[in-house]
């Protein structure tokens, strides 16, 4: 059986609020429309709090957005479901966009494959990891990736559209304290329980690890299961990302 061919995009942070999510949204549209194939994107994000749609219905959402900005983070509405997650320069953002004529049928399979990719990435970095929720974790989910069942190192969410699916998440590489410092006030505003001691980083177990080494490890883990071709974003994707960016900017009035 021939190995899959996956397009890989590696990119850095663009400080236009919402643009980063706009790129992933544009890729999802283009994969859904058959214009591009299976795609993985790995990027080094800036300071962002990515709210789920459910968060916008919270009575405390306006306060959460205000606290996000006061802490120097950009508030955005992310593609996948779930609750608020944090990105900063010592994290790695990843997304995997799959063409699929029946995306509902493959939900669990995609979650499992992506979570396994993250586990393998962490193993290559020297951190034993497993898939499963942690009691008291932020953005709780069945496919969180943890260390020793007690500390969350990565979260994963999924978004389905016609003929495609997007699975995305974040690995906390360093500065778990910085992650906690913003999660605590944001979750308090949203009225969500969260145990700060469950927030961890790869650096807590592998001193000196870098974002670059984490990205290299994820590329290696991906290359073990597919033929990976590194691509640059085409002009149409970037143009569409700019058009989509505004709808992903979180405003305090986004309560509907």
Low-confidence ranges of the chain (pLDDT < 70): 1-2, 252-256
Q: Is 192 contained in some domain?
A: yes
**What are the tokens at 90?**
């010592």
Q: What is the pLDDT of residue 17?
A: 87
CB 100 within 8 A of CB 188: no
**What is the CA angle 234-237-239, rounded to 5?**
105
Q: Is the four-CA dihedral 98, 248, 55, 191 of positive or negative sign?
A: positive
Q: Is 252 contained in some domain?
A: no
Q: What is the pLDDT of residue 209?
A: 97
φ, ψ dihedrals at 194, nearest 5°: -160, 130
Q: Are strands 91-99 and 48-51 parallel, antiparallel or unpaired?
A: unpaired
Q: What is the pLDDT of residue 255?
A: 45
Q: What is the pLDDT of residue 256?
A: 40
8-30 tens-digit pLDDT: 999 987 778 899 999 999 999 99
Q: Is 110 contained in some domain?
A: yes
Q: Is 25 contained in some domain?
A: yes
Domain span at residue 160? 5-247
Q: Which of 128, 119, 171, 165 is nearest to 147 (CA)?
A: 128
Q: Is 105 contained in some domain?
A: yes
Total structural domains within the chain: 1
Q: Is 256 contained in some domain?
A: no
CATH of residue 41: 3.30.930.10
Q: Is the four-CA dihedral 52, 54, 57, 59 of positive or negative sign?
A: negative
Strands in 145-147's sheet, in edge-to-edge order, are: 130-131, 145-147, 151-161, 164-172, 91-99, 39-43, 5-11, 227-230
Q: Is 255 contained in some domain?
A: no
List, as one string, the DSSP characters of 189-239. Answer: HHT----GGGB--GGGTSTT--HHHHHHHHHHHHHTTSEEEE-PPPHHHHH
Distance CA 148, CA 122 (A): 13
Distance CA 151, CA 196 (A): 10
Q: Is 254 contained in some domain?
A: no
**What are the tokens at 70?**
């006061």
Distance CA 125, CA 147 (A): 13
CB 13 within 8 A of CB 189: no
Taking the whole predicted model, whether its pTM rises above 0.85 is answered as yes
Q: What is the pLDDT of residue 253?
A: 56
**What is the CA angle 76-81-87, rounded to 5?**
45
Helix/strand number for the chain, H first, E second: 6, 11
């Amino acid at each position: 059986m021939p190995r899959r061919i996956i397009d890989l995009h590696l990119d850095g942070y663009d400080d236009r609020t919402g643009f980063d999510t706009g790129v992933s949204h544009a890729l999802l549209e283009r994969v859904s429309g058959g214009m591009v194939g299976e795609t993985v994107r790995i990027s080094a994000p800036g300071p962002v709090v990515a709210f789920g749609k459910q968060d916008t219905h919270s009575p405390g959402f306006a306060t959460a957005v205000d606290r996000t900005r006061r802490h120097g983070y950009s508030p955005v509405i992310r593609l996948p479901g779930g609750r608020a997650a944090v990105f900063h320069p010592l994290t790695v953002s990843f997304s995997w966009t799959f063409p699929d004529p029946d995306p509902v049928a493959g939900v669990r399979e995609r979650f499992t494959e992506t979570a396994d990719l993250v586990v393998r990435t962490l193993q290559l970095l020297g951190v034993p990891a497993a898939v499963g929720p942690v009691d008291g974790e932020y953005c709780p989910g069945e496919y969180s990736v943890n260390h020793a069942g007690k500390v969350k190192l990565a979260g994963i969410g999924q978004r389905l559209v016609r003929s495609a699916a997007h699975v995305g998440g974040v690995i906390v590489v360093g500065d778990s304290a910085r992650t906690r410092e913003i999660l605590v006030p944001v979750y308090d505003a949203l009225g969500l329980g969260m145990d700060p001691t469950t927030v961890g980083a790869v650096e807590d177990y592998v001193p000196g690890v870098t974002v670059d080494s984490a990205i290299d490890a994820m590329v290696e883990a991906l290359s073990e299961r597919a033929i990976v071709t590194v691509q640059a974003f085409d002009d149409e994707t970037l143009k569409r990302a700019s058009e989509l960016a505004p709808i992903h900017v979180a405003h305090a009035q986004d309560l509907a």
